[in-house]
Structure 1
Amino acid sequence: MRSHLLNDTTAERYRSSVTEGVERVAARLATTPRPSTGLTAAELARRVEAVDLDAPLHDTIAALDELDELYLRDAIPFHHPRHLARLNCPVVIPAVLAEAVVSAVSSSLGTRDQSAGGTLIERRLIDWTCERLGLGPAADGVFTGGGAQSHLHALLLAREETKEQDPARLRVFVSEAGHVGVQQAARLLGLGEDAVVVIPTDRNKRMQTVALARELERCRRDDRSPMAVVATAGTADFGSIDPLPEIAELCARYRTWLHVDAAYGCGLLASRRNRHLLDGIERADSVTVDYDKSFFQPVSSSAVLVRDRVRGRLPDQAGKSPGTTRRLDALKLWMTLRVMGADAIGDLFDEVCDTATKGWRMLAADPRFDVVAEPQLSTLVFRYIPTAICAPFAIDRANLYARKALFASGDAVVAGAKVGDRQYLRFTLLNPETTTADITAVLDLIAGHAERYLGGETLDRAC
């Protein structure tokens, strides 16, 4: 029906429909008491599968009522201070406003005549980010659909730079705490099964440069071609930052492309106190940044940057991305910077990092928990340890049970992590509204659930 097309004759319908949708979301935001409703995936699947998509409702209000039941009511509220799982941040209002503009105008950034000022906005933000990274006047980049896509793009450029004809000879080096997207990218690029060389980490989950040097030398000795080293500035599980200056030196020595995964740690680019933690990143050949992780942007908002646009072979704007049709995701960051400013974003990121440091001190002083490492960013990895002597697998199961019980109760959402073969829990603190009181309360809940598990029917066989 033409009445649903957005144009000059339906402007009022657009206004009323969007306003009604915004009101629904605002009502949910204002009345969400817990970070999870605890509803199972199976129950949600049954509700969605029951919808007959060939029988439209022909009414916006009715469709929103249905959407409330199927999605809004049980959607995970990342703005809740006790949502402590994964790299999902609360979003800032200027970016959400920009999202509405982007959807309605629907510019495509494939060519400049499709996007007008949109292309220029994206290019200015790429320049701004490159300046913050210190990549130099020849730097360039493009917004992408996410961190994994940015890694793939960067490694494609690295592969082209090697001029190696036999992909089986290429090697990519990444730490054992690095992003799984590196292995995925290697497969998509058609590299050999042994292409990705995993480098061990130290006790703080940072890449061991001695081990990296050894593997690079072995690669050369075995007549293999070192295609790229992927360093991480903020690992997903631990928030650790690899020693970037030392890794850059090794890459220069072995003439190897240096890609830095700063998807998580890019928030430090706006920090007034902690920017030094990214020292060395200016020597990277390419960098991934995810503004939707630490710039408080809605997904998706990611970019890949290169230090040398000629060496990196980034052509004009239309040919920079594998996708010829791209949204103006850059507008979200643009509005954020124009309304709030970079310092405000950096201060918010510094705040969550400070909260993580306080949380680490609490965990280190609490005999109920074993904490892995002092955080460099805003991630805490720990697990509950009972006072009674228990088999390791029982402690693993108790922590897994506590995580699931928390979600089912709706009291908190935490993530899991593996340290060696052992099961740990993870707080990823990306909400400035999360306080040490929230952390204390969730730790008490975790201990309570774990103790009930170990003290229940499983006690005799578990301990």
Structure 2
Amino acid sequence: MNAPFNARLATSPDVFASVLGPDAASRDSYRRAMMQAVDVALENAHVHDRPYAGNRLEDLMGLVDSIEPFPDTGLGTATIIDEVGRLAVRHALAVSHPRAVAHLHCPVAVPALAAEALISVTNQSLDSWDQSPFATLVEERVVRWLAAEAGLGEAASGSFTSGASQSNMTALHLAAERCGLAARHTGVIFTSAHAHFSVVKSARILGFAADAVVTVDVDSEGRMRPEALSAGIEKAIQAGRPVVAIVATAGTTDLGAIDPLEAIADLADRHGIFLHVDAAYGGGLLFSRHKKRLAGLERARSIALDFHKMLFQPISCGVLLVADKADFLPLGMKADYLNPEEAVFEGAPNLVEHSFQTTRRADALKVLMTARALGRDGLDALICRTLENASAAAEAVTARAYLELARQPSLSTVVFRTVSASSPEDADEKTNRIRARLFETGVAALATTVLDGRVHFKLTLLNPRSTPDVVNRVLDAIGDVAKDMETNNAD
């Protein structure tokens, strides 16, 4: 038989102090836990001077499986931070390491980390103003600033999201609502052949027909071809299929290609089509001296930006901007407990009607704190350094006879492959094996992708510290591993 409730509480006298409140005991518990967590993070991150500690999958699985999640008697916060927290940091991918160059996964700005602590401790939810008074107004202020940076007008609005996948899906929903219910059955969405997979995934989730997303051919640099888009639109019109949206990309995942936004916007205007721009990656240029490369972005009906890519924010942190706040109307629903018809707080914003989400974090705070702390000159310097590192990396690839550059970098990704006398299929397999070897030995975390039907290496240089000397070390390691594999095969 279970012990009486009060008797069981007596075995853990600090249990109430483990939940933050206004009392001194819980505040002291919070302070000690946060200080300990910071120490654990600093002492265990980069402990091996590697982007990854080198543990194989099966070893990590055994380590995690050995942890009992829910013991009968709690072990205490300090013990768990030292035990589980230490392992979590030590065996994580060290995204701030200069040789962690695999994905669109950035090192984080210190002001944003401070903001994350404040976001968590205040635990605001932006689904009603009385749950998040200051945070709600901060999001509105940051959205106004972002809309202005993007060149949108006074009618613009926006909503913070978990990232571009959610932003893209929301934009497609708004575009479909504008066209009417039938559009989900017969409508067409045009996007680049190099667009992010979330466009197709979102269309499926939203109930569009299986053939709704039509990919448009790209040029040699991976940019959507306007003439191919125009031909596709005309074909859809002749077939009696409504064009729900055009999704242009400003910064493709692999090549960083920026679609010709002005020409695409001309077509959207000519045919009255909703233009959404997925600028999750390339949108970072808005905050640098390279802003003009996004000319035409201001003509979009909606824009997706991700701050956890080129702008050094902790995951997750994205925003969907719309040129006309009226486009959010299809998301407007009333709940008596949340946003009654007769407002209790006159004039208070109601952000829940701008999002698929109800409970939503105050992520705008970390963008505000980072932007104010670093300023335009600071962000420009960091972004430009990543672009310069990518250009230098491309030169380093070209200088090595055993490597072949696929394209000149547009943003901060560099795609290349090894030159091999073996068959293309063998070269593809070898590329994947080299990637795995470098990761498992902790030398570097780099990615692979498929371009022109062949497996390529990809460096994603979002870290300003991924300088030419760092990249040279990675490229040399690729050559060393490739030679080692050839020698072993010969034996």
TM-score, reference length from structure 1: 0.95
Write the distance in 2 (CA, Å) between the matches of 1:311 and 1:61: 49
Write the distance in 2 (CA, Å) between the matches of 1:240 and 1:41: 34
The DSSP-based 3-state class of the residue aligned with 2:248 is strand
Deviations, residues 74-108 of structure 1 (Å, cap 9, x unaligned): 10111111111100111011100010011111011
Q: 1:4 aligns with which of 2, 5, 18?
A: 18
* Alignment-derived partner of residue 145 in structure 1: 162
Write the distance in 1 (CA, Å) between the matches of 2:429 and 2:402: 16
Matched, 1:345 2:379: yes
Q: Could you tell me how far 1:32 is from its partner in structure 2?
A: 4.4
Write the distance in 2 (CA, Å) between the matches of 1:195 and 1:99: 39
Contact 2:193/2:215 (CA < 8 Å) preserved in 1? yes
The DSSP-based 3-state class of the residue aligned with 1:456 is helix
Matched, 1:380 2:445: no
Q: 1:415 aligns with which of 425, 447, 465?
A: 447
Q: 2:39 aligns with which of 23, 31, 35?
A: 23
Residue type of the alignment partner of 1:182: V
Contact 1:380/1:428 (CA < 8 Å) preserved in 2? yes
* Alignment-derived partner of residue 264 in structure 1: 281
Deviations, residues 332-351 of structure 1 (Å, cap 9, x unaligned): 11111222213311220111
Residue type of the alignment partner of 1:2: F
The DSSP-based 3-state class of the residue aligned with 2:119 is helix
Q: Could you tell me how far 1:57 is from its partner in structure 2?
A: 4.0
Q: Tell which structure's C-alpha radius of gyration is larger.
A: 2
Q: Could you tell me how far 1:243 is from its partner in structure 2?
A: 0.8
Contact 2:46/2:97 (CA < 8 Å) preserved in 1? no
TM-score, reference length from structure 2: 0.90
* Alignment-derived partner of residue 323 in structure 1: 357
Write the distance in 2 (CA, Å) between the matches of 1:325 and 1:32: 39
Q: Could you tell me how far 1:395 is from its partner in structure 2?
A: 1.1
Q: 2:367 aligns with which of 333, 341, 347?
A: 333
Correspondences of 1:422-437 after superposition (within 5 Å): 422-437=454-469
* Alignment-derived partner of residue 290 in structure 1: 306
Deviations, residues 97-147 of structure 1 (Å, cap 9, x unaligned): 010011111011111111111101001110111000001111100001121
Residue type of the alignment partner of 1:48: V
Residue type of the alignment partner of 1:362: A
Contact 2:407/2:414 (CA < 8 Å) preserved in 1? yes
Contact 2:54/2:441 (CA < 8 Å) preserved in 1? yes
Matched, 1:39 2:73: no
The DSSP-based 3-state class of the residue aligned with 1:143 is strand
Residue type of the alignment partner of 1:114: Q
* Alignment-derived partner of residue 335 in structure 2: none
Correspondences of 1:2-401 after superposition (within 5 Å): 2-9=16-23, 10-29=26-45, 31-55=47-71, 56-68=73-85, 70-272=87-289, 274-313=290-329, 316-386=350-420, 389-401=421-433
Contact 1:234/1:262 (CA < 8 Å) preserved in 2? yes
Cα RMSD after superposing both structures = 1.5
Q: Could you tell me how far 1:252 is from its partner in structure 2?
A: 1.2
Write the distance in 2 (CA, Å) between the matches of 1:275 and 1:102: 30
Residue type of the alignment partner of 1:440: N
Task: Tell me the number of residue pairs that the alignment of Structure 1 and Structure 2 aligns.
Answer: 456
Contact 1:267/1:346 (CA < 8 Å) preserved in 2? no
CA shift in 2, pair 1:203/1:455, >3 Å: farther
Write the distance in 1 (CA, Å) between the matches of 2:74 and 2:60: 20
The DSSP-based 3-state class of the residue aligned with 1:142 is strand
Residue type of the alignment partner of 1:120: L
The DSSP-based 3-state class of the residue aligned with 1:293 is coil
The DSSP-based 3-state class of the residue aligned with 1:135 is coil
Segment drifting more, 427-436 vs 199-208: 199-208
Q: Could you tell me how far 1:72 is from its partner in structure 2?
A: 1.3
Matched, 1:456 2:488: yes
CA shift in 2, pair 1:247/1:166, >3 Å: closer
Deviations, residues 57-78 of structure 1 (Å, cap 9, x unaligned): 4222221222145421110111
Write the distance in 2 (CA, Å) between the matches of 1:166 and 1:208: 25
Unmatched 5+ stretches in structure 1: none
Q: Could you tell me how far 1:372 is from its partner in structure 2?
A: 1.3
Contact 2:281/2:306 (CA < 8 Å) preserved in 1? yes
Q: 2:473 aligns with which of 435, 441, 447?
A: 441
